[in-house]
Chains A and B, each alone.
Chain A
Amino acid sequence: MSGVIKTLPIEITVNGRRRTLEVAVHHTLLDVLREDLELTGTKECCLVGECGACTVMVDGRIVDSCLMLAVEADGAEILTVEGLARDGHLNPLQQAFLDKGAVQCGFCTPGQLMAAQALLVENPHPNVAEVQEGLAGNLCRCGCYYQIFEAVLSVAEAGSR
């Protein structure tokens, strides 16, 4: 690095709001969400795409935001944990995580929620094995995996009624 940081303009829609930004070309989407947009709900942990704490949705698909350069997200629609609740009401997944005890320290929770949200968009009625597989990239060291499965399945079931 030479001291002069190259930047490029991008335009992204984050949680429904259009943002025009000048971002450093080497900054990840995670950097830009957390630093430039102060959306710190998305968490930083391993930075190698293994822990899932930084999971967001980009154009409806699940992405480890630590592995995507912000410039690659130009023009994309991004959903972060802050965008799940509507009008001050938790969305069904968030409520289910609370009700089923799928949250302990909470640090992995935003990533778990986003991965679960993406899973349900793709497969509204997953079985346990599919939930397990869908969340395999999201580590929870507190170990409330079973409660997370239960939360996701309860939302899927409610959706089918």
Chain B
Amino acid sequence: MSASSIGSSPNRVGGIGRVSGLQEYVADVRLAGVLEAKLVTLDCARAKIISIDTSEAEQVPGVRLVMTAADLPQPMPRFGPQLEDRPVIAVDETKYHGEPVAIVAADTKDAAEEGARLVHVEYEELPAVFTLAAALDPDAPLVQDPSLRPKDPLASTNVLREHHVDWGDIEAAHADVVVENTYSFPIVTHFAIEPHAFIAAPDDNGIAVWSSIQHPYWLQRILAKLLDLPLSKVRVLAPDPGGAFGGKQHAKYEPLVAFAAIRAGRPVRLVLSLEQTFQAVRRAATEIRVRTGFTIDGKLAFQDIKADYLIGAYCDIADRVVGKGSYPGAGPYNVPAVRIFARSILSHTTPSTAFRGFGNPQVNWAVESNIDEGARVLGIDRLEIRLRNLARKGDPFIPFDTPADGDWEQTLRRAAEMIEWGKPLAPGHGRGIALGIKSGPTTGLSYSTVRLLADGSVAIYAGTSDMGQGARTIFAQIAAEELGAPLDAIRVVMGDTAIVPYDQQTSASRSTVLMGNSVLKACSSIQAQIRTMAARLHGIDESAITVERGVVRLPGRELRLMEVLKPGLGKLGGELIGNGETRKDGDADHPLGGAAAFFELNCTAVEAEVDEGTGDISIVRHVTVSDVGTAINRLQVQMQDEGAAIMGLGHTLMEHFIYDETGRIRNLGAIDYRIPTTMDLPLEMRSETIENADGPGPYGAKGMSEGALLCVAAATAAAVREATGVAIRDLPLTPERVWRALRERGGRANAGTNDDGES
């Protein structure tokens, strides 16, 4: 019997392809006769399209198709995961910098590029709104045509939707100290190293579409509706994304490429440039006003939170981000009175979408920072104030949701220990600690099929997207455990809606729990079949036999699963097939449409050193502790947490889109938009997990992957605050911003003790 792999760190399933260059991403797919496409875009945020002349482009040798809005069905088909507001291609007006107005497909990339350059667009630049203030101005131009939202009283404004979460009575709550501040979070972009790529090809009276997408089945539905095809005639192939982080959840240019392929009668491939990818996906900028009431003993009396999220020109999934991201805004604490008011504000910018953390990091940044401010006013230690308010297991900390589902105090205390909270600090150093919480999936549906083949090897069919989080490995470990198969004899098939059964989506850190449970059930079904086989072979009643973790137990003896399978299948061989299903239905009366399947809870603690001469922040130690229930694959959990932590340091220290005065993104591309490199890392990164096997997933696992990003900003800014005495409430904490804040403060925080230059 092979040793259990649960909780160990076997090598990544699919790893060999990744280190040998053989892993096929969408841009690598070889397809006979494929046309290469390029987009035609305008260099402004918003424009009225007067005319488009494609005649010169059509003359370029090798150009096979030039398509504009005029070539598409009228009225222009629109789509979107929440609202059907995004046109397949801009019609009459472009609404964000980089929105395509035409697509050119040609035999070669060169010809497509030349053709795209020769599409002549006559347009008139229109005033654009790309900040919250401008979008909310009563005289602001409307981003959306009000006819898209009939009967909506907000349709005559740029407010797409308002979200309210309330409990207790804020007005009646007694507070000895009230702290009120406003915080801002910038626009950042996913910057997956794989730029978005799409292929569409006419296929079997229908269409085949390749996309580096997280939700292939959702895309299939959208395409079926747009193209008026049965689901069975829309085949979505989703090769593993080269990084996604939420940016590849929903359809972007797949419908456009599909219409192009149908019109051309040939496969068409569109690979975005990195610059175009920046113009396609981003996180919502947010302004958060927090009013926190405390009693004199440091108990939270109320949280009054108002968050305005700057979403883009089309909704995409952004409004769900706003609703779900602001919802646990009061944090993992017992707060008697809470008022959360969040708004989705449309603007002439790239449609914002899901991004690791899903709207939570923005509000968390404000609320956690404000708790520190309260602690200072009250003279209570920042760790202590959190301990006094933290929800204990079973507490209904959000009254209408899943009660606190972990020993969160353990997480907080462990992180404090690892950062050496309370120990003397070197001059110029400071520490910060913060908690992050995120609601897991509120609904879900994951089917899977597991085939136990005649030689004991296993094929798993699971529609999750493995975008780096390692879902393949987790499912393989589950099957290995249950069916006693060696890991290297397991194949995990994903990414093809024509072969793999339905999965709702790969998001909200759901897959280990929801698809993991589905695979577990499929394996259980096979175990039951083995039991029947064993009863038949040995002439024993089934009730005397148990099958678990690859072992068949008969009265007085144990057999390996194979020892039953082989004689059980007999001369013809064959296989055993098990199906699994995990369903989490929604609840129409719940503010989020369903209670959390689990919470992701993380504590991040940071020790930072600030160079007072330059404003440069150096992270001396970064501690991240997540309550994961059970780490099925220890190394993968560590990598996800550390990766999330580093990504969090990106928006904390350096990342932000910069717009010019007309709404164009000025720092498009890798030279001017910086993400953490090997030279920007904490000097020391320490990640640990809390594991009490109290999650709803296989072996007690909870979802994880986003938690370690949630509160990086608050923990880091708190460390900077302690190091310098300066509170900065706008991200990112660039050297310039820190330096300016230090100049305004004047003097030195640690004068004479750490003097390395001018004061």
Contact = CB atoms under 8 A, between A and B. Distances in A.
B11 A99 contact: yes
Contacts of B642: 143-144, 146-147
A141 B193 contact: yes
A145 B18 CA distance: 16
B12 A3 contact: no
A116 B18 CA distance: 15
A101 B636 contact: yes
B679 A136 contact: yes
A142 B643 contact: yes
A62 interface: no
B18 A106 contact: yes
B27 A44 contact: yes
A42 B30 CA distance: 15
Contacts of A35: 109
Contacts of B191: 139, 141
A116 B546 CA distance: 51
Interface stretch (B83-91, B436-444, B668-676): B668-676
Contacts of A132: 678-679, 681
Interface stretch (A45-53, A67-75, A153-161): A45-53
Interface stretch (B308-316, B467-475, B548-556, B695-703): B467-475
A90 B685 contact: no
B12 A84 contact: no
- Chain A, interface SS category: loop
Contacts of A90: 16, 19-20
Nearest to B12: A103
A118 to B, nearest CB: 15
Interface in A23-58: 24, 35, 38-48, 50-51, 53
Contacts of A104: 243, 468-470, 639-640, 643
A111 to B, nearest CB: 9
Nearest to B117: A1
Contacts of B17: 106
A97 B81 CA distance: 38
Contacts of B9: 101
A51 B669 CA distance: 10
A82 interface: yes
Contacts of B243: 104-105, 107, 141-142
B614 interface: no
Contact of A108 (B20, B193, B274): B193
Contact of A107 (B194, B635, B669, B681): B194
A87 interface: no
B22 A41 contact: yes
A44 B273 CA distance: 9
Interface in A93-147: 94-95, 97-99, 101, 103-110, 113, 131-133, 135-147
Q: Kindly name the residue among A47, A50, A108, A142 whose own CB sees the greatest number of chain B CB atoms within 10 A.
A: A142
A42 B28 CA distance: 10
Contacts of B539: none
B639 A147 contact: yes
B722 to A, nearest CB: 26
B68 interface: no
B543 interface: no
A146 B683 CA distance: 10
Contacts of B470: 104
A106 B467 CA distance: 9
Interface residues of A, number: 58
Contacts of A8: none
Contact of B194 (A41, A50, A105): A105
B61 A3 contact: yes
B500 interface: no
B2 interface: no
A50 B193 contact: no
Contacts of A109: 18-19
A38 B21 CA distance: 11
B122 interface: no
Interface stretch (B163-171, B370-378, B587-595, B644-652): B644-652
Given A98-B12, A108-B193, A141-B191, A80 B21 contact: yes
B19 A5 contact: no
A1 B643 contact: no
A81 interface: yes
Nearest to B638: A101
B643 to A, nearest CB: 3
B675 A139 contact: yes
A119 B712 CA distance: 32
B110 A24 contact: yes
Interface in B195-252: 195, 240-245
Q: Kindly name the residue among A35, A108, A149 whose own CB sees the greatest number of chain B CB atoms within 10 A.
A: A108
A145 B643 CA distance: 8
A140 B643 CA distance: 9
B193 A40 contact: no
B60 interface: yes
Interface in B623-649: 635-636, 638-640, 642-647
Contacts of A24: 110
Nearest to B11: A98
Contacts of B693: none
A46 B11 CA distance: 29
Given A5-B110, A51-B670, A143-B644, A106 B242 contact: yes
Interface string B26-46: 011010000000000000000
B24 to A, nearest CB: 7
A140 B193 contact: yes
A46 B670 contact: yes
Contact of A106 (B11, B240, B643): B240
B191 to A, nearest CB: 6
Contact of A45 (B20, B195, B679): B195
Given A47-B274, A103-B12, A143 B19 contact: no
B114 interface: yes
Interface in B454-498: 467-470
B638 A139 contact: no
Given A85-B20, A107-B25, A110-B21, A143 B193 contact: no
Given A1-B110, A133-B679, A53 B21 contact: no
Nearest to A82: B21
A54 to B, nearest CB: 11
B677 interface: yes
A110 B17 CA distance: 10
A137 B675 CA distance: 12
A101 B635 contact: yes
Contacts of A53: 193
Given A41-B22, A105-B467, A105-B468, 12 more contacts: A3-B60, A101-B638, A104-B469, A105-B194, A107-B192, A107-B194, A131-B678, A136-B678, A139-B677, A144-B642, A144-B643, A145-B681
Would you list the 5 A-B pairs with minimal beta carbon distance, nearest first? A41-B21, A107-B242, A106-B18, A105-B468, A143-B643
13 contacts: A1-B114, A45-B195, A90-B19, A103-B19, A104-B643, A105-B18, A105-B244, A105-B468, A107-B193, A132-B681, A141-B193, A143-B646, A146-B685
